[in-house]
Structures are given as C-alpha cells and as structure tokens.
Structure 1
Amino acid sequence: MLKILVVEDNPELAQAYRLALSQRGHEVQIEGTGAGGARAAIQEEPDIVLLDLMLPDIDGFSVCRHIRQESDVPIIMLTARDDDGDVIGGLDSGADDYVVKPVSPGVLEARIRAVMRSRQVGQATEDTASVLAYGDLSVDLGSLVVTRGGEELELSPNELRLLMVLLEHQGQVLSREQLLARAWGSAASLDLRLVNAAVQRLRLKIEEDPADPQLLRTVRGFGYRLG
C-alpha cells in the first residue's frame, strides 16, 4: 500500500482518482489547491504525489519546484495536453514522470509502480558503491552530491538518475529504451521524450559547451554514450 497525495482541483476527477487508487489498496489524500498540495507534500510525507498542472491558485510547475526545495518525494505531473512544452516544463521543475489526462486506472497504477521502482533501483545503487566518476565529473552516492571540477552541480531527480546510469555504463552506447528502463524503471509504460528532455537538461549542467557535448555524446541511430 502506498500513501498517495492527489493535487487536483476538479472534484469529480479527484474522487475518481481516490476511488480507483483506493480499490487498489492505496491510501489517498486529496488537495484541491497548489498551496494545499505543496504543504501536504512536505508535512504529510506521502509516498508519491500526483500533481495536476492547471490549478486555481498556483500552476503545477511552481508547486513542483516548491516541493523540490524541501522534499525528494516522487512526483507524477498530470497534464491535459500532450505536447513537448508541458513535458519538458514538468521534468525541468523536478517531476519524475507525466501522465496525459484522461488516464485509465490501470495505466495510472503502472506509471506509479514504474516511478517507485526507479527510486528503489537508485537506492540499491547507493548501497553498493560510494562514488561514481568519469574524469572530473562525480556523484557521491551517499550524499547524492554531483560535482565537476570540484564545483557542485544542482541536478533534478531525473537528471541525477540518468547521470548515474551513464556513469555506471561509461563508454557504452545505451539506447533511449535502455536508458528509460534503467533510469525510470519501465520502458513499456513511459515515454521516450523523458530521455530526450533529461539529456538536454543534463548537458546544460555538465558540458562546458552544451551545443558541442564532449561528455554526453549522441551516437546517431543508436543512442547516447558517456565518454
């Protein structure tokens, strides 16, 4: 059973989420405003947050950024539009995944499981090594502090998980499907645009010239390689 916080201002939709998730054995808390959702995400310590993008007081991007300042709780963004702007905006604000509404209960449950599995994979990695490094780029797996050339970098959870997978397989070409499965937990239930967006944002933070990447390279027709 998971403790799930649903931040959704549409009462009918919120109750539909509550019913569907409760029937699957989860404990569900509903918040109808961005401010209430941000407060509950920090104070109530849910296992995962389902966060609507369009809220009456504060947009979901802002709520997500506020939560990320205080908590690393998994967040799935709920959007009404399936466009790259919403996807990239949600990931850039710190969300782990996005779901386009309307969504069936089975698909929603699968996306929740995928995000939770990816967090468990990340925790297992932390328990088996102390530092992952390539050149002057490193991740301390105890503190999850990322540095390059001794300078600390601020990465989102998605960017951090992607970097950890690339560091674990440095020198190897990994397809987007492989990166999706290893960094997010399930290639079947997620979208390859998650990888594209995370690569784009990660390059902005680890490359001296993101337009001419020397660390995170694209291998055309195959995928990406670190080194």
Structure 2
Amino acid sequence: MNKVLIVEDEMSIAELEKDYLELSGFDVTIALDGVLAKRAIEHQAYDLIILDIMLPGTDGLELCEQLRRTLDIPILMVTARKEDIDKIKGFNRGADDYIVKPFNPNELVARVKAHLSRYRRLTNRESTHQLIEIGNVTIDPPSRKVSVNGQIITLTAKEYDLLYFLACHPNHVFTKEQLLERIWGFDAIGDSSTVTVHIRKLREKIEGNPSKPNVIETIWGVGYRLKK
C-alpha cells in the first residue's frame, strides 16, 4: 500500500484530501506544519508528499527545498496562488507538480496515482540498466544517482527523470510538449514553463558553463536534445 504524507495546516482540507486518498487505497498521514512533517519522515518512509505552500513557521517552499536534500519521491505542492511565478518558485525548490485551491479532490487523487505510477515504472525499468556516461556526467540507473566529475550531485525526482530520459535517447530532439507528456505523464501545468525550469536547473547542476551548455542543447524553435 502506497504511503502518502499530507502537510497542510488547515485540518478541514487535510481531512478531505485524506478521505479521498484512503478511499482509493492509500495509507495517509497528516502533518500540520514543517516540524511535524520532518518528524513523520524520520519515522516512516513515504512514497509521495502533498505539501501546502502556506504553512506556519517554515513555509512549503523552504520545506520542499529541505526535503529534496534527502528525498527523490514525488512532491505535489498545493497553493491558493495562481500566478506562474509562484509555480516556477516551487519547481526551483524541487516540486514535481502543482495543484491550485480550490480543486476537485478526484483530480488530486488522479495526479497522485499518475505520479506514483510513473515513478514506479521508471524505477523498475532502471533497475536492469547499466551506467550511462555522457562526457563527465555518469548516471547510475539502479541507484538513481548522478555524478559530475566523480562527485555525486543531488537531483529532484523530475530532474533525474528528465536527464535519464534524454540520456536514453541521445541526439534526439524533443519539443517541450513531448517532454512534458513523457516525463510528467499529462499536461500537469498547462504550459511549457515546467520543462524550461527543469532544464535550467539541470544545466546548473551538470554543465560546466550553464549559459553555454555542452550536454543538453537547445534547438531553437524546436526543443532540446542531449548531445552524445
């Protein structure tokens, strides 16, 4: 049974999310703030986290960044803000997806299922693959670890999935829309900023000079490709 952690300070919303997820067969825990969330994670391994941005004390964005230092599981952020800049901030901190309040609980359940299914499918497929080397970048699929010049770097779940997918299709050009569908599984946000932000973050972590990338190239007017 998949375990989901809901980090939400409004108990009525948390309970609603919990009820719908439990009806779909998930094992759900609620944490009302960042401190309780960290405590829950110390004592239990979770498969996915639903994280509200507006939390008392440490807000959801900061908490997401902290969690990403040790976790690569999907993180879905919940917010009342609709502005694209807020979504981009979340992606920069390591979020995999966004859902805006008020939302249909059935949509939340559908997104949770989609992210878990894709994460599980990619993880299972990687378990039989050998090392992938692109210049000074090495990908170890069984452990989902990436190193640059021999040094392990930290990637979010979607950053890793994006890099791994491109590495499995070297020199193939993909549009932003194709990458959004292949990596996120559905039009999660409705625009290409999702892919753009993740490509930029990847370049910052694996490229010697992110402004002049040698690994992930931009094909202007088309999309991106991994050069090998």
Aligned to 2:85: 85
Within the alignment, does 1:187 sit opposite 2:186 as a pair? yes
Secondary structure of 1:210's partner? coil
- Correspondences of 1:13-162 after superposition (within 5 Å): 13-162=13-162
1:42/1:71 contact within 8 Å kept: no
Across the two proteins, how many residue pairs are aligned to each other? 226
Aligned to 1:196: 196
| CA distance in structure 2 between the aligned counterparts of 1:153 and 1:19, rounded to whole angstroms | 37
Q: Deviations over 1:163-188 (max 9, x none)?
A: 1011001100012222223323x124
Over 3 Å counting, the alpha-carbon distance change for 1:217 and 1:129 in structure 2 is same
Secondary structure of 1:128's partner? coil
Secondary structure of 1:49's partner? strand
Within the alignment, does 1:172 sit opposite 2:168 as a pair? no
1:92/1:156 contact within 8 Å kept: no
| CA distance in structure 2 between the aligned counterparts of 1:190 and 1:116, rounded to whole angstroms | 17
Unaligned runs of 5+ in 1: none
Give the TM-score taking structure 1 as reference length: 0.89
| CA distance in structure 2 between the aligned counterparts of 1:94 and 1:22, rounded to whole angstroms | 26
| CA distance in structure 2 between the aligned counterparts of 1:171 and 1:89, rounded to whole angstroms | 30
Q: Deviations over 1:29-77 (max 9, x none)?
A: 2221111112213322222111101101211122223323343332111
Secondary structure of 1:66's partner? helix
Over 3 Å counting, the alpha-carbon distance change for 1:9 and 1:182 in structure 2 is same
> Structure 1: which 4+ aligned runs deviate by more than 4 Å?
none
- Alpha carbon RMSD of aligned pairs, Å? 2.0
Structure 2 counterpart of 1:97, one-letter code: D
1:5/1:29 contact within 8 Å kept: yes
Displacement after TM superposition at 1:101 (Å): 1.5
2:48/2:74 contact within 8 Å kept: yes
Within the alignment, does 1:9 sit opposite 2:6 as a pair? no
1:114/1:189 contact within 8 Å kept: no
Aligned to 1:212: 212
| CA distance in structure 1 between the aligned counterparts of 2:195 and 2:39, rounded to whole angstroms | 30
Over 3 Å counting, the alpha-carbon distance change for 1:42 and 1:115 in structure 2 is farther
Displacement after TM superposition at 1:149 (Å): 3.3
| CA distance in structure 2 between the aligned counterparts of 1:18 and 1:151, rounded to whole angstroms | 40
Q: Deviations over 1:1-50 (max 9, x none)?
A: 53221111112212221222233232322221111112213322222111
| CA distance in structure 2 between the aligned counterparts of 1:194 and 1:63, rounded to whole angstroms | 20
Over 3 Å counting, the alpha-carbon distance change for 1:33 and 1:105 in structure 2 is same
| CA distance in structure 2 between the aligned counterparts of 1:24 and 1:124, rounded to whole angstroms | 23
Q: Deviations over 1:134-153 (max 9, x none)?
A: 22222112333322333433
| CA distance in structure 1 between the aligned counterparts of 2:89 and 2:65, rounded to whole angstroms | 11
1:42/1:70 contact within 8 Å kept: no
Over 3 Å counting, the alpha-carbon distance change for 1:48 and 1:106 in structure 2 is same
Structure 1 counterpart of 2:186, one-letter code: A
| CA distance in structure 1 between the aligned counterparts of 2:142 and 2:3, rounded to whole angstroms | 26
1:6/1:51 contact within 8 Å kept: yes
